[in-house]
């Protein structure tokens, strides 16, 4: 597997690491993790570009579920006592190997290390600390959802003594916004014009649209959960907010980011009945579409598309530069977007026998399949078949379940 190496300011990083006023610490307890809240939040608020998935509130919400059977492994970097960098990692064991991952790996679309804008050498310094001071505590770091827009991990040279490999994991389609709303409808993707016709029909039939922004967002958790319970997601086993843990994550997210005005909720109603929702994160100059769903018995009104139309129009009118559909190359996104952002997976490991063994065992086979067009086609076909079987409540033979488990494991 080829490694693509992109160079960063190595000399600047060396000078930074040689400073006597910088201090790196490892946080391995939940109490220590909670003690970082105030400093972490302050750092998040000044980071550029701001990434909600690296905030303390988001990481903390995910940690309640991610750290059930694993341990926090959070690296902090301070200069003169001031927090300038955070690597929000966790430590777990897989097949005997000690694996580092992002705490919020499964629930997030953009990840990386949080760093102060006036300290661009933070990521490289943290990797150097992992190599020199903590080498005996881990075997491999599997870092996913890395975008050049929100992380510099893809664009740096890994310190000597560490090996690495990377692969394209997924994409994030987005709609670049320009001009006013009328111009966007004329020159933008075709789905804008298509949805506009549906929006007029929706209104004629008695449909209404509501946008909730601010501390009241958490009051809509019940409506969101009920809509999802009657959607195709629930029927096909893809619901996010029906389990106890999923509902807790929803409520905590709405409470925290509604209060900070970093989240908006859109609700579509037909004759006052909630039939569809969107959950969007509000970043400076950007809107991220996080989750959405609609009641299947109201599908004929195209309520999800109508909500996207209103959310995109609002983003344009408020001066946003981008409406991001986040991770995943689902077919419907192509009609709404005009750009894609690559998401890379990166494996970093000590250049030792245990490190290479962990990579060859845990990572290399999966990434070979991920890079195979044939394997991707087979996997997508299986996903479609699985959804149909779930929809008809069919029982799967044991050998099919085993094949699905192996396939899902390799692509995860």
Q: What is the pLDDT of residues 351-389, one digit of tens each?
A: 999 999 999 999 998 888 776 666 666 656 655 565 555
Whether 400 has a pLDDT exceeding 80, the answer reads no
Q: Does the pLDDT at position 54 exceed 60?
A: yes
- CATH numbers and ranges of domains, the chain: 10-170+341-370 (3.40.630.30), 178-320 (3.40.630.30), 373-411 (no CATH)
- Which band of pLDDT confidence, cut at 50, 70 and 90, is reported for residue 397? low
Contact indicator for 211, 265 with CB cutoff of 8 Å? yes
Judge whether residue 10 has pLDDT over 50: no
Q: Does residue 14 surpass a pLDDT of 80?
A: no
CB atoms within 10 A of CB 135: 15
- Whether pLDDT at 321 is above 90: yes
Query: Among 169, 297, 303, which residue's Cα sits nearest to residue 231?
Result: 297
The answer on pLDDT for 276 being more than 90 is yes
pLDDT above 90: percentage of residues in the chain: 72
Asked whether residue 294 carries a pLDDT value surpassing 90, the answer given is yes
Q: In whole angstroms, what is the distance from residue 298 CA to residue 269 CA?
A: 10
Cis peptide leading into residue 49 (ω within 30°)? yes
> According to the model, what pLDDT value does residue 155 have?
86
Instruction: Check whether 20 has a pLDDT greater than 70.
Output: no
Sole residue written with tokens 């109508």:
306
340: pLDDT strictly greater than 80: yes
**pLDDT of res. 84:** 97
Residue 146 pairs with which residues in a beta bridge?
A: 344
pLDDT by residue (tens digit) across 66-105?
667 789 999 999 999 999 999 999 999 999 999 999 999 9
287 versus 371: the higher-pLDDT residue is 287
**Distances in whole angstroms, Cα of residue 190 to Cα of each of 184, 338, 364:** 10, 10, 40
3-state secondary structure of 315: helix
Facing residues of 343 across strands?
A: 170
pLDDT of residue 287: 98
* Residue 366 half-sphere exposure toward CB, CA atoms < 13 A: 22
Structure tokens at 136: 């005996």
Q: How far apart are CA 80 and CA 215, in angstroms?
A: 36
Q: Band of the pLDDT at 4, cuts 50, 70, 90?
A: very low
Backbone φ, ψ for residue 19 (5° rounding): -65, 145
**pLDDT band at residue 401 under the 50/70/90 scheme:** very low
User: Percentage helix, strand, coil, to 5, in the chain?
Assistant: 45, 25, 30
Please give the structure tokens belonging to residue 50. 């701001």
What confidence tens digit (pLDDT) does each residue in 148-174 have? 999 999 888 899 999 999 999 999 999
pLDDT for the residue numbered 5: 28
CA distance 224 to 339: 29
- 């310094």: which residue's tokens? 125
Q: Residues 196-252: pLDDT tens digits? A: 999 999 999 999 999 998 889 999 999 999 999 999 998 888 888 998 888 988 999
Q: What pLDDT does 236 receive?
A: 84
Residue 178 has pLDDT above 80, yes or no: yes
- pLDDT above 80 (res 403): no
113-140 mean pLDDT: 94
């Amino acid at each position: 597997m080829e490694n693509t190496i992109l160079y960063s300011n190595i000399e600047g990083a060396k000078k930074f690491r040689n400073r006597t006023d910088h201090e790196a610490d490892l946080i391995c307890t939940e109490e220590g993790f909670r003690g970082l809240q105030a400093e972490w939040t302050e750092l998040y608020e000044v980071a550029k570009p701001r990434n909600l998935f690296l905030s303390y509130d988001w990481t903390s919400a995910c940690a309640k579920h991610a750290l059930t059977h694993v341990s926090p492994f959070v690296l902090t970097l301070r200069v003169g006592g001031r927090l300038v960098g955070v690597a929000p990692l966790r430590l777990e064991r897989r097949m005997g190997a000690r694996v580092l991952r992002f705490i919020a790996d499964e629930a997030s679309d953009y990840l990386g290390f949080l760093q102060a804008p006036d300290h661009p050498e933070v990521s490289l310094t943290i990797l150097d600390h992992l190599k020199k001071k903590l080498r005996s505590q881990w075997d491999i770091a599997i870092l996913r959802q890395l975008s050049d827009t929100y992380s510099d991990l893809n664009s740096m040279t890994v310190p000597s003594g560490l090996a690495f490999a990377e692969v394209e994991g997924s994409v994030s389609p987005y709609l670049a916004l320009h001009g006013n709303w009328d111009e966007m409808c004329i020159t933008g993707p075709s789905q804008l014009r298509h949805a506009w016709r549906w929006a007029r029909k929706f209104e004629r039939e008695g449909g209404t649209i509501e946008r909730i922004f601010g501390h009241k967002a958490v009051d809509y958790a019940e409506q969101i959960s009920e809509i999802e319970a009657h959607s195709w997601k629930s029927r096909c086993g893809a619901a996010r907010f029906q389990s106890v843990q999923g509902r807790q994550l929803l409520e905590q997210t709405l409470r925290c980011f509604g209060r900070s005005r970093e989240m908006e909720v859109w609700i579509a109603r037909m004759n006052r009945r909630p039939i569809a929702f969107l959950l969007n994160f509000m970043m400076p100059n950007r809107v991220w579409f996080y989750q959405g769903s609609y009641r299947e018995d109201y599908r004929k009104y195209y309520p999800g598309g109508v909500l996207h139309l209103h959310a995109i129009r609002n983003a344009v009118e408020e001066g946003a530069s981008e409406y991001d559909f986040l991770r995943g190359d689902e077919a419907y996104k192509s009609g709404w977007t005009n750009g894609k952002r690559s998401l890379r997976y990166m494996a970093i490991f000590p250049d030792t026998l245990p490190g290479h063994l962990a990579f060859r065992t845990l990572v290399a086979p999966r990434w070979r399949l991920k890079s195979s067009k044939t394997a991707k086609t087979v996997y997508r076909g299986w996903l479609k078949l699985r959804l149909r079987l779930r929809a008809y409540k069919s029982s799967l033979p044991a050998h099919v379940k085993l094949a699905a488990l192996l396939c899902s494991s390799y692509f995860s």
